[in-house]
A and B are shown apart, each in its own frame.
Chain A
């Protein structure tokens, strides 16, 4: 079945540091890939997505490239801010029996300190 593996946190960085959160996946079909972010006390919200191989999703300075050859979708940001402190979820969406099936990773908590 489908699965998503992402690094366990917490990840603690100083402001303006470079961020990488690794995500790899296993899927039987041709999934779409997502990064969601969850701020304290809130629900998840979409950060970026990519729907086919070599696509790059980007938003708010975050980027991730859909790498089919390495089955990866690593999240990167060149300079993190305190406001980026949150939990980040990698997810894939595949078709199962004609319907959307979404699989989430365990989430990686990011803490950015001033």
Chain B
């Protein structure tokens, strides 16, 4: 298996622009997670899907952030409009959960820079 695939790997955009990050989970996994990693705040869970349904979006910072999972093999995280404070590495992870012993498999991340 190719593992979790994320695109793009790097994104540089100007403040106010829309940004869309993409994720393809491992085939057969039914849980998907979006995380944001910064030096100041560490690793933060943004949203968690199970069977394509958002279960917990309490970590989504504000209305500028939205996430969708239209099918089992694709998810997007959109930021509109983007701001410099959104600069971070965004990770997507999937698991065969929802059992608690399930391991999460992380993608390589998307490094977002908003100028």
Q: Which residues 23-70 in A have Cβ within 8 Å of B in the complex?
A: 30-32, 34, 36, 41-46, 49, 51
In the complex, the answer to whether A102 meets B106 with C-beta atoms within 8 Å is no
**B76 CB–A CB distance under 8 Å:** no
Query: Can you name the residue of chain B whose Cβ is closest to the Cβ of A96?
Result: B56
Complex contacts, A89 vs chain B, CB 8 Å: 43
Chain A residues positioned under 8 Å from B99 (CB to CB) = 100
**Among the listed A34, A43, A96, which residue makes an inter-chain contact with B93, where contact means beta carbons less than 8 Å apart?**
A43
Q: Which of A32, A42, A106 contacts B100 (CB 8 A)?
A: A32
Which residues of A are in contact with B by a Cβ distance under 8 Å? 30-32, 34, 36, 41-46, 49, 51, 89, 93-96, 98-102, 104-107
Instruction: Give the contacting residue for B109; candidates A34, A43, A95, A106; CB below 8 A.
Output: A43
User: A45-B106, A100-B100, A104-B45 provided; 5 other pairs, C-beta below 8 A?
Assistant: A43-B109, A93-B101, A99-B48, A99-B50, A102-B33
A residues less than 8 Å from B101 (CB atoms): 32, 49, 51, 93
CB distance from B94 to the nearest CB of A (A): 11
Beta-carbon contact of A100 and B42 below 8 Å? no
A25 to B101, CA, bound (A): 16
Q: List 22 A-B contacts (CB under 8 A).
A: A32-B100, A36-B104, A42-B109, A43-B4, A44-B43, A44-B91, A45-B105, A45-B106, A46-B103, A46-B104, A93-B101, A93-B102, A94-B100, A99-B55, A99-B56, A100-B31, A100-B48, A100-B50, A100-B97, A100-B98, A100-B99, A104-B43
Instruction: Tell me the complex Cα distance, A45–B45, Å.
Output: 16
Instruction: Using CB atoms, name the residue of chain A closest to B103.
Output: A46
Q: Are A42 and B108 in contact (CB under 8 A)?
A: yes
Q: Is the CB of B97 within 8 A of A107?
A: no
Q: Which residues of B contact A95 (CB under 8 A)?
A: 98, 100
Closest beta carbon of chain B to A30's beta carbon, Å: 8
B107 within 8 A of A: yes
